[in-house]
Chains A and B, each alone.
Chain A
Amino acid sequence: MLLEVENLKMYYELLGKGFVHAVDGVSFSMDKGETLGIVGESGCGKSSLAITILRLLPINGKICEGKILLDGEDILSMDLERFRRDVRWKRISIVFQGAMNALNPVIKVGDQIAEAIMIHKKVSKREAMRRVVELLEMVGIDPSRANGYPFEFSGGMRQRAMIAMALALNPEILIADEPTTALDVIVQAQILKLIKDIQRKLKLSVILISHDISMVSELSDKIAIMYAGQIVEFGDIVDVYTNSLHPYTKALLSSVPSIREKRRKLKSIPGAPPNLLNPPSGCRFHPRCPFKIDLCIEKEPELVEASPHHLVKCHRFEELRGIDFK
């Protein structure tokens, strides 16, 4: 296993109010060359999980428990200086949400990518620029555009430049947090295709984070459904889609319109996601779940293997097999 996350807990401390349980006991693992999609509503902790893996937490973000093993070595207990030098960007990099607006408007795009290289490697500007040309070609930008400023790039091209920057040091894992929100559909499709091509070519492992299950299904091999800081279902993406077990997954799927299907009534999930300052007792989905029983309120279910490599965190998944939401 390339990356193993074990029982990770990361809370934000709110002075006088307690802790926001943003990531609360998350475990998963991924192999080299694999794409894992993480899907959930806003506020479910998916972006917090990403920045925890990169140790980019704000000052009130506290890692309370758990391990993150990269090739067997715990990167959470690693000395921060070493992590910064050897892991962040070099082995795990990220394309942030809205990244296309993260470029510095007054520095040429090529120079910005070169800067990322020169900070980590002792190379001359010329060598760095040679790498920039390679990278731009890889992401489908004409290398002559390296001398352009961000405002001369369209949204899609800026996103490509950000991907080039994330790939600058040949990382093993790329985290893409909502890489296509704010892009038009055709541009979105082109960026997804680009990620897929690069992933194959470089045998990259990708963690794709989004609220949009359709976008995630396009690229992922495996999927993790997150709810209120926890993974509630995990497995091969086709398995989870065709044979979803958790009521929340079923609900999510029945709320998404599909362009290739006949019109059907969309179902919405009643209520709103819980406040993570005081997560509900027992199963966190119970206040919104139409199938809840007393046990769900009293006891938190374990994430168990329902069938090989298909995990679910629900007391009643056996009885609910094949039953639709509501």
Chain B
Amino acid sequence: MTSSRPVVEAVNLKKYFPVRTGILDLIRRRPKLYVRAVDGVTFTIYEKEIFCLAGESGCGKTTTGRAILRLVEPTSGKVLFKGENVLEYDGLKLKEFRKKAQIIFQDPYESLNPRMTVYDIVEEPLRIHKVGSKGERVELVMRALEDVELKPPEEFLYRRPHELSGGQRQRVAIARALILNPEFIVADEPVSMLDMSIRAEILNLMLKLRDEHRLTYLFITHDLAVAKYICDRIGIMYLGKIFELGLAEEVIDNPYHPYTKALISAIPTPDPRVKIGEIPIKGEVTSPINIPEGCRFHPRCVYAKSVCKRTEPELIEVSKGHFVACHLYK
């Protein structure tokens, strides 16, 4: 299904946010503190692939997605889009890039301007990028709405977001992302605000659009059941690092990293005969300001050895295409 042509590559991508400090800290010459939201992430997304970043809140998955689109400026590292470093783009080139790389946000109740009609919302990217004449734009908007199965499109053009259901709103957000014919879409938790029955509908729509429009997705989610359903490959993140990376089915059915194991064991299934067992993890997520020495998971890991407290493990290939950053696999 996927080809081997890389579309997006993140190379040792980092994003640190400075922590606001007061004047007292300055006087006392306390070191400046940073939230290391993304702390050296490397991965490649191939053409027509759905690559997933998964993890708990605060693991840096959303910041990674935004850094790739330069919606936040990365602190260091590289983002390659078809071989070119996006971080060196400026002015016109950046605008061109924005045309090819789009985003769908989590909450369709907040990402759509309530005062605008569906037509205005979907047409706006065309206006910004000065695409087509007025008549052509109407045509394009209609086609985009048809693509996301808001049929007949005439019926939706002049509605406002409050007149739409959650699923319909997310379809409008997808139409807006599609209208410029992008090659790459970052989908940040696109179904987590939606009801179960509507989730399936949106996921199936995204799969269909991938095939029809030759799209490549970065799919960000905390829900591994959703990830297993939609994604080709998956990266599991914890405190700004990728801990495990591989084919989604392989990583979820046969996880290596102790954190991935804990995460998967905690997920309930619809089958009432299958219950959650013991979850092999200690404590709660550590603050990304004071990241532990060595492996950043060691204070919570039930298998931690002394080496885990000293050196940070590298992401290494343990079986074909399945990478893990853990001292247990060496």
Contacts and interface: CB of A to CB of B under 8 A. Distances in A.
Contacts, number: 119
A237 interface: yes
B327 to A, nearest CB: 22
Contacts of A42: 166, 195
A235 B276 CA distance: 22
A276 to B, nearest CB: 14
Q: How large is the interface on A (under 10, 10 to 19, 20 to 34, 35 or more residues)?
A: 35 or more
A252 B197 contact: yes
A257 B195 contact: no
A312 to B, nearest CB: 18
Contacts of B271: 217, 241, 258, 260
Contacts of B167: 272
Interface stretch (A165-173, A262-270, A301-309): A262-270
Contacts of A261: 269
B269 A266 contact: no
Interface in B164-181: 165-168
Contacts of B275: 218
B284 A215 contact: no
B284 A267 contact: no
Interface in A225-274: 237-238, 241, 251-253, 255-261, 263, 265-269, 272
Contacts of B281: 186
Give the size category of B's interface with A: 35 or more
Residue among B197, B226, B249, B263 with max Cβ neighbours from chain A (10 Å): B197
B220 to A, nearest CB: 14
A41 B197 contact: yes
Nearest to A220: B272
Contacts of B269: 214, 217, 258-261
B8 interface: no
Given A154-B284, A184-B57, A189-B268, A211 B276 contact: no
Interface of A: 41-42, 154, 156, 184-190, 192-193, 211-215, 217-218, 220, 237-238, 241, 251-253, 255-261, 263, 265-269, 272
Interface of B: 56-57, 165-168, 195-201, 203-204, 222-226, 228-229, 249, 252, 262-276, 279, 281, 284-285
